Chains A and B, each alone.
Chain A
Amino acid sequence: MYVAVKGGERAIDNAHAWLAEDRRGDLGVAELSIAQIREQLALAVGRVMAEGSLYDPDLAALAIKQARGDLIEAVFLIRAYRTTLPRFGASHPVDTAAMACDRRISATFKDLPGGQILGPTFDYTHRLLDFTLAAEGLAPPAPPMAPPAEGDLPHVTGFLAREDLIQSNPDGPDTPRDLTREPLDFPADRPLRLQALARGDEGFVLSMAYSTQRGYGKNHPFVGELRIGSVPVEMDIPELGFAIELGEMVLTECETVNQFTGSKTEPPQFTRGYGLVFGQSERKAISMALVDRALRWEELGEDNEGAPAQDVEFVLYHADNVQATGFLEHIKLPHYVDFQSELELIRRLRAEAMQATRQEAAE
């Protein structure tokens, strides 16, 4: 006898219970605390905050724990939570020149005011598995940190700008459009594109940037400067009549210096790409700057080579991993009805084709 596909409700409840059990894993192993994740998996926390568009290390750590380490799932949890948060207002733009830098490097000048600060980077580690970590041995303490430089660290591109060697950033609208409050609409100006890239999937933005390096929309980038550190966030409080500091956030900023353009009326100048993300993610910030620069082809009077990274609709519609993963995974939902209609169509088409063949054979 036919048994209808019933019991969806009970199946869901059971699946959730099983998931909770698997999340906890072996009870003989100590449970992770939010603080442990926040402190010891800080780069994962940074990525979840960046792509979740919400700066809150504790919530991001909770999301990672709840998602069993699936970072895209964690980003999704943060985004869904973000939807429900009331909006009080907007902060002042952060001033990255006033950043307290943990790391600040330039690939274009050997030395510069404020100096190169290597900071905590994987760059020159040998990628050898460190078995002392498996033994839960403590790494030797780092030498004491030099006191951070007093005053602002000027941006490298500022030195080039002083000689007019690099284009200034064109003025955007005073209040950029907000991608999380308005539908994506074209033409998309640069502030909107940068927003989409900042919350775009790290892997996607990386691949787009990489494709420009391999020749699909090449723009010859130099990392003018890469800096990581914390900046204060300030907001005007109408009741007070002045701005107060809400707190600090860790940011990674990358400014690239790209191939120059020039025309009969304008002497050649370097051009810019820009990347800025929450947390410590050099890979994402550099990628973002390359893709930003590639998307500026029209404004800079360059040719459209038909490269994927030059196609603003392609990049913006496919950068968001929450959208992408949802739509991709939805094909595992039931499609009985659509499939049934295809099934009937193909049966009928085949029957007609076979009958036609038989008739031909008979004639």
Chain B
Amino acid sequence: MTEYNFAYLDEQTKRMIRRAILKGVAVPGYQVPFASREMPMPYGWGTGGVQVSAACLTPEDTLKVIDQGADDTTNAVSIRKFFEKTAQIAVTEKTAEATIIQTRHRIPETLLTEDQILVYQVPMPEPLRFLEPSEVETRKMHALQDYGLMHVKLYEDIARHGEIATAYSYPVMVEDRYVMSPSPIPKFDNPKLESAALQLFGAGREQRIYAVPPHTRVVSLDFEDHPFDPSKAPHPCALCGAEDTYLDEVITDDAGTRMFVCSDTDYCGARCEAAA
């Protein structure tokens, strides 16, 4: 493809996105408005993440794209192909080899390093949205750190269910200042938000970019007597035997027999290979 600029977006647009990213890095957890462009994939399918990745990519980068932890899910394949076509960059499925990882709904099991950037696709950047529908009002709440309502929601959960009934998109407090949505990752992944890697979050349809710089304090909201619990299914992986990974539940026959396997396919594959 020669008719498009490197990584699809024109340089002006990339500069605009990079300014938003820098602002996000400077104010961890703050949602920076940016003029999201229409991309050749639908809104809700990773347009925010794709724009952030496009603004970060250099010709020397190696890209990994995962969806639900796997490199081979259709949308991950589609986005990886898009960048192979428009940026001719190297791609990989190995977490450790990638310099930029675009993800939807998971953080890789392998610990990331300071040389890596993790780009999240974010459908709903506003953690307060379901408590307060107006954007004008939620921006005011962030500005004034008016977060009482967020804890009221958690209180109601415990009063009704005996525990905080949020299993994914579990809200966090970044650097004691901004309440942030970690995107719909399972709460199991929340502890990994304190990372050596730069984490960037892109919401295309909602026109927001935010960031968690390396080694930033990220605390999952909870109560002292109901502490945050990053639980997962109480099984080991049926393929690699790992006991500390997030698992997919797979129904294997008509009788409803189930098995649990790592959601991170690269991590699982590497462990299986090492064992063989």
Contact = CB atoms under 8 A, between A and B. Distances in A.
B58 interface: no
B105 to A, nearest CB: 5
A333 interface: yes
Interface in A339-363: 340-345, 348-349, 352
Contacts of B4: 84
Contact of B167 (A12, A183, A328, A345): A345
A334 B77 contact: no
B42 A326 contact: yes
B256 interface: no
B83 to A, nearest CB: 14
Interface stretch (A2-10, A26-34, A128-136, A249-257): A2-10
Given A326-B43, A326-B205, A341 B73 contact: no
A189 to B, nearest CB: 14
A118 interface: no
Interface in B42-87: 42-45, 47, 67-70, 72-78, 81
B67 A334 contact: yes
Interface string B1-41: 00011001110010000000000000000000111111110
A327 B249 contact: no
A163 interface: no
A79 B41 CA distance: 11
A313 B162 CA distance: 36
Q: Using C-beta atoms within 8 Å of the partner chain, give the interface range for chain B.
A: 35 or more
Interface in A150-200: 180-187
Interface stretch (B145-153, B210-218, B231-239): B231-239
Contacts of A283: none
B220 interface: no
Contacts of B33: 183, 185
Nearest to A345: B167
A327 B123 contact: yes
Contact of A330 (B44, B68, B77, B81): B44
B50 to A, nearest CB: 12
A182 B238 contact: no
A298 interface: no
B136 A337 contact: no
B221 interface: no
A80 interface: yes
B230 to A, nearest CB: 10
A86 B10 contact: yes
B44 A313 contact: no
Contact of A337 (B42, B72, B106): B106
Contacts of B81: 9, 12
Interface in B221-247: 231-233, 238-239, 246-247
Contacts of A341: 167-168, 186-188, 232
Interface stretch (B108-116, B174-182, B259-267): B259-267
Listed residue (B8, B13, B38) with the most chain A CB atoms within 10 angstroms of its CB: B38
B36 A343 contact: no
B16 to A, nearest CB: 9
Interface residues of A, number: 50
Which residue, of B47, B72, B247, B265, has the highest number of chain A Cβ atoms within 10 A?
A: B72
B165 A345 contact: yes
A346 B174 CA distance: 28
Most-contacted residue by chain A among B70, B76, B232, B247 (CB, 10 A): B70
A322 interface: yes
A53 B50 CA distance: 22
Contacts of B40: 80, 83
A180 B207 CA distance: 11
Nearest to B208: A183
A213 interface: no
B44 A340 contact: no
B123 A349 contact: no
Interface string B117-141: 0000001000000000111100000
Contacts of B246: 337, 340
Contacts of B167: 338, 341-342, 344-345
B250 interface: yes
B263 A337 contact: yes
A186 B263 contact: no
A326 B48 CA distance: 12
B185 interface: yes
A147 B224 CA distance: 82
B77 A12 contact: yes
B186 A2 contact: no
B202 interface: no
B249 A11 contact: no
A8 B232 contact: no
A341 B247 CA distance: 9
A335 interface: yes
Contacts of A181: 35
A323 interface: yes
Given A83-B37, A344-B232, A352-B162, A337 B75 contact: no
Contacts of B205: 323, 326-327
Nearest to B38: A79
Given A8-B77, A338-B184, A349 B165 contact: yes
Nearest to A80: B40
Interface of A: 2, 4-9, 11-12, 76, 79-80, 82-84, 86, 180-187, 313, 317, 322-323, 325-331, 333-338, 340-345, 348-349, 352
Given A317-B135, A337-B68, 18 more contacts: A2-B238, A6-B72, A8-B74, A80-B39, A83-B39, A182-B35, A185-B33, A322-B42, A325-B43, A326-B42, A329-B42, A333-B45, A334-B67, A335-B105, A338-B167, A341-B168, A341-B186, A342-B167
5 contacts: A2-B238, A4-B261, A82-B38, A330-B123, A337-B184
